[in-house]
Structure 1
Amino acid sequence: MNTNINMGVRRFGRVNWLGTWTLARREVMRFMNVWSQTLMAPLINAGLLLMIFTIAIGPQRGDVMGVPFMVFLAPGILTMTVIQNAFANTSSSMASAKVQGNIVDTLMPPLSAGELLVGYMGGAVARGAMVGAVIALGSWLFLGVGMMQPLWVILFVVLGSVFMGGLGLIAGIFANKFDQLSAISNFIVTPLAFLSGTFYSIEALPQLMQTLCHINPFFYIIDGVRYGMIGVSDSSPWIGLGVVAVSAALVLAVCWRWLDRGYRLKS
């Protein structure tokens, strides 16, 4: 039995633009209202990581892929922060709505599964882009790391935020308790982000680990942003773009299906 979210007759045309925009705006305002936790805290953490690596390693590390270590490190920390925040935005929004019992406020309006998905992704992309823009500005001011290929940076930040926002939505729908959501974040998302070339070139890894990295979408997001910022990468940005785009499409398809069926949302 197909339990679609919207059972009534739509009176807003083929696309409910107002409802979709309202949901996206709600998602943005949700994290902006607690900006000190959702925006300032990740920025401080990223700054502390850069400072610690500068003090602990600095010029002693030598060049990585032909660039100073701190220049190599900056895009990795930027991307890691972006994808973690995109994941956190959708996962916490959906999980909070389920735990607090107000998910009905999202399901009742005349919004299709696709419109719900676009609204949630709007919040994830906005949060990821805001965090990324500020870290990029700080990297330019304090480390002199600019944007050699800005279009590539934008593409990978947006696609990476969509991919991680979709994963966050899946985690939020699946989890019935915050403990389950924390487990997914701590044991899946964070390790994959740390083990995907954030702090090093994967050329330094054993062959088996390199192979595993090349099937990990997280690696291609980080590698693509690094290529756009400093012009070096472990793989072709075109291959990375394809892998991330396909991965995002698959994740969004799962999200759409679950929203369309009301999976773990109506019970």
Structure 2
Amino acid sequence: MQPIQTRPGIRQMGVRRFGRVNWLGLYTLSQREIMRFMSVWQQTVFAPLMTSALFVVVFALALGRSRGEVMGLPYLAFLGPGILMMTVIQNAFANTSSSLISSKMQGNIVDTLMPPLSAGEILAGYLIGAVARALIVAGAIAAGMALVIGQGVAHPAWALGFVVLGALLMGGLGLLAGIVAQKFDQMAVITNFIVTPLSFLSGTFYSVQALPQPFRAFAHWNPIFYLIDGARYGILGVADAPVLRGFGVCVLTVALVLAVAWRWLASGYRMKP
């Protein structure tokens, strides 16, 4: 009797286990991702906090009180939510992308692919790690803002919602980058020429209403603008764009990115070390 020839991969595991969730495997993967960045918290948590503090100090010393108000708020108060969200999205992207590319480079990606985990479970495990790191960083920055400049949170639910959406979006993009890249040099290109410009040119340090056309129109096509604008609304209560429209754009963008990430994981696309 001839043995049945099967092609190993995540797709088959997902089909065999349709309708069931491997909760133990999902918990183990998400715990691994959280422990991975917490074991080097000086680099993954403390360093971003120091970078954020340096941004605030540099802008405070360089501009002082000469900058005036932005959207009716002191400039440092206006700056805080943008710094918070920029740090969140950069850390969420770094968490998933570095984890995946490191596993591929070291050849231990099979330890993630071989267990009975579906593509959705692998996606969820990586994203839980990204969201956990983003929430820790966001909470620390928000606490610092409250202590240093006395800034509270105007709409906590909106602020939390946009932070989670930002972590999911950039965590998903980090997975896509980690799948596409085959070495750290390629990952650096994606980070330096795509992620960093989009985060800096999205209203982090200024109101997009001050931009001339067509740059103002271009900013409204950048989903990261809506993340930063939504975080600013959640914390300060002011926004450049309608908050519901921004939330809808972010939800749709997250759904699209995660759908692509799931499809690539399910097909095993470029997942060989």
Fold-level similarity (TM above 0.5): yes
Number of the residue aligned with 2:10: 5
1:164 to 151, 157, 170: 170
Paired positions, count: 267
Task: Report if aligned partners of 1:3, 1:260 keep a CA contact under 8 Å in 2.
Answer: no
Q: Which has the larger radius of gyration?
A: 2
Q: Quick one: which of 137, 141, 160 aligns to 2:143?
A: 137
Partner-residue secondary structure (3-state), 1:44: helix
What's the counterpart of residue 94 of structure 2?
Answer: 88
After superposition, the C-alpha distances for 1:82-127 in whole angstroms (9 at most, x for unaligned) are 0000000000000000011000000001000000000000000000
Q: CA-to-partner distance for each residue in 1:118-164, whole Å, 9 max, x for gaps?
A: 00000000001100000000001001111000000000000110000
Larger displacement relative to structure 2 (11-20 or 215-224): 11-20
Name the SS for the 2:26 alignment partner. helix
TM-score normalised according to structure 2 size: 0.95
Q: State the Cα distance separating 1:21 from its structure 2 match.
A: 1.0
Offset of 1:4 from its aligned partner?
3.8
Q: Give the equivalent residue in structure 2 for 1:148.
A: 154
From 36, 40, 51, the counterpart of 1:34: 40
Counterpart position of 1:125: 131
Calculate percent identity across the aligned residue pairs.
Answer: 61
Structure 1 spans left out of the alignment, 5+ residues: none
The corresponding residue for 1:43 is 49
Give the alignment partner of residue 189 of structure 1, picking from 181, 184, 195: 195
Q: Would the aligned equivalents of 2:11 and 2:267 in 1 still touch at CA under 8 Å?
A: no
TM-score w.r.t. the length of structure 1 is 0.97
CA shift, 1:7, in A, is 3.6
Query: Which of 211, 230, 235 pairs up with 1:205?
Result: 211
1:15 maps to a residue whose letter is: V
How far apart are the structure 1 equivalents of 2:79 and 2:176?
Answer: 30
Report how far residue 11 of structure 1 moved. 7.6
Misfit runs of 4+, over 6 Å = none
Q: Post-superposition shift, 1:59?
A: 1.4
Q: Distance in 2 between matches of 1:203 and 1:122?
A: 35
Partner of 1:19: 25
Name the Cα RMSD after superposition.
1.7
Is 1:180 aligned to residue 186 of structure 2?
A: yes
Superposition deviation, residue 55 in structure 1: 1.1
Give distance in 1, aligned partners of 2:212 and 2:29. 45
Confirm or deny: 8 A CA contact 1:21 1:119 kept in the other structure.
yes
1:106 to 102, 112, 121: 112
Structure 2 unaligned runs (5+)?
1-5
1:62 matched to 2:68? The reply is: yes
Q: Distance in 2 between matches of 1:158 and 1:70?
A: 24
